[in-house]
Amino acid sequence: MSLSKNIQRLLKKEAGVILLKKTSKDTTWEFLISNTNTLATLLYFIIRKKHDYLILTNKRVVLILRNNVVNEYVFNEVSSVSYNGINETLQIKEPDQYVSFHVEKMRITYDEAKEIRKKLEPFSKK
């Protein structure tokens, strides 16, 4: 089953939202291949479908980089969720603890940070 189908199934099952989806940054090898005029370049663009996701559901936060789950945090009950653009963290407050979920590998821009904060509003009003 493809990654996007698994993500959609997770979002339906756990009532969540994709906070951010963006194309993965090229590795050095991929950059070199894409800057040559060869058959390898054509094949690279056909098979390259790597994305980064930041997903928040009512039970978990998942960070997916280059179509691989890099970090996941499962929680019981959330009091509030906020995004700190300076430290590049999602701050999750539970009744008994406070967790910072680092997302600096997503390379979040200013506009993307505003979009994330807007999508977090329903989760913060619980």
Q: What is the pLDDT of residues 1-53, one digit of tens each?
A: 576 777 777 777 777 777 777 876 665 655 555 566 556 565 665 566 678 88
pLDDT attached to residue 83? 92
Distance CA(51)–CA(4), nearest Å, equals: 10
Which helix (H) or strand (E) segment is 53 a member of? strand 51-56
Output the average pLDDT for the chain. 79
**The pLDDT of residue 105:** 87
Answer yes or no: are the C-beta atoms of 79 and 96 closer than 8 Å: no
Identify the burial level of 21 via C-beta atoms within 10 angstroms of its C-beta, where 0-12 means exposed, 13-18 middle and 19 or more buried. Answer: middle
| pLDDT for position 115 | 92
> Residue range 71-84: average pLDDT?
86
- The rounded distance, in Å, linking the Cα atoms of 105 and 56 is 16
- pTM of model > 0.75: no
